[in-house]
Structure 1
């Protein structure tokens, strides 16, 4: 996106009136502004500034009953229908854990938020300091609309201005590789007992996730062809197995646990269109795909992970290992059959 332009709220509203079918994110890109600036232009005319901290937003969402939770990155949109609950607050990381709404939340990136009511289409929307969407909660017909007015009143801020200052967007961190530490990486990788230890190992060795994958090699990782992302989704659907699909940005990671039933490709997009779960993936933005294996106390954790051309993660997919719902063996066979790609130069 181009440098943030100084479009006035009046200009933003006029553009939206002239382009009513344009999605908010696309309208913001067309104007060269952040999405939060686009939304802020409607404060007092359908939008209300509200407290952005998850300790405020999530309890409000719980009162709404059935809603649709949306978390996205540039190349992938993850949508789940369900009710918020079982919220675990935390200064640096929080989570919501229900069968349908499963989130990992990073409060420092929940900076701006709005309650939006456009002709009865209601949502709570959260943005980071750069004005990029972190998480959205869309009400549905079955939602508890009776508490909407109270929630907006309780969360409303004193500041109801229609201008929005944003910080420059932080660039995606490219792959960080330490070839001189590759042997140490492989030695310590083999001793992992939990997947959460992996990022601590990367940090200790001054690498990041993608850099470690490029450095490690077999048997820890196998680089797949970019089209393996689509092949994998089709194979999961055909096998009828349950998987965990993670999509996340700096402020929120959203997880689907379950099967995939319906795939509907449209242009560059591959779309999962299931009751309660939609995924929209831009296949043309998938630059690297990796099959990854990490040892754990419960056996190897095998994942397929996709990255964009800048090195940003698009998604992670794991087999489900829950008792009575263990798909890991079938998932392992799917991953093993995915096509390889030539390695990316360090």
Structure 2
């Protein structure tokens, strides 16, 4: 069985074609600058070779159509006919309270998903464009939606509600939803498989740390809290997002800077975080290099970044009444040993003992990085959201 996974953003389309017989990636890539000049598609072939193909992509249907043509291209394609594709799985960002699991995308489901657009005005319309593009190009092909927010729908009300007038939750759905759910679901299960333990018996803290970052508390295989909120802005300090900030500071700055709601959203989402503190970049690799060269603001950003992760880990251990496993995943979590070390430093009080030397050797691979006598097992588990989407899609056919 062959499953195509699509992740459609406002100006991008990421894709991966899976052979689910052995769960291998036949090819993957992404279209960039959709609707803009200079559009192109990057393609990764099974042998690891990468190609960039320039192509005008005025909108998503044309982008999906071009990706389909690349899949069957005589030189770089991996299938002879599009009919070899059995289904398409879509990353769907915000399902609100309406979706707590992956579903086959019917007209009724899509109508319900459209009702969530107010909660994710940039992401959900792009997701819909991808679904409609596939429907136009291959009518009748089964499609499945896998929602970023679904895994977090097991949170209890005392975790997800904000302390604002209750009618605002009832009327507008203002609450914590959380994101990166597909990743948190994958790594919280995968780490238990890796360690040979039963998820039902374990308290796991999953740290999805990249340009965007979030942490989840997973008790007995179910999410009981997560750091992102109504939107992906809340929680950790991120590449360009502020993370947690006093609401009073927001209204203060709106007045001082004469900003409207859109202007403040732009400041907090695109100009803050690591970029805002350093003035250098949102890329943690560049910040590490600047820190090595003695840049004080780069050091400050790294200290702030790791400190907030540490705070959430401690908070979630307290909330769950303990912690058995801590997982690091995503770009920074998988590859930045120094950040993992900083987060775990001085956490012996809760049973965390990092194997510092082994940690330095781990980059993008599954590994235990705590010492044998550590009461809390600390692991690196590379995330695989696309495989999770493909697996959900296959299981729903």
TM-score (norm 2): 0.24
The structure whose residues are more often strand, as a share, is: 1
Structure 1 or 2: larger helix share?
2
Structure with the bigger RCO (C-alpha within 8 Å, sep 6+) is: 1
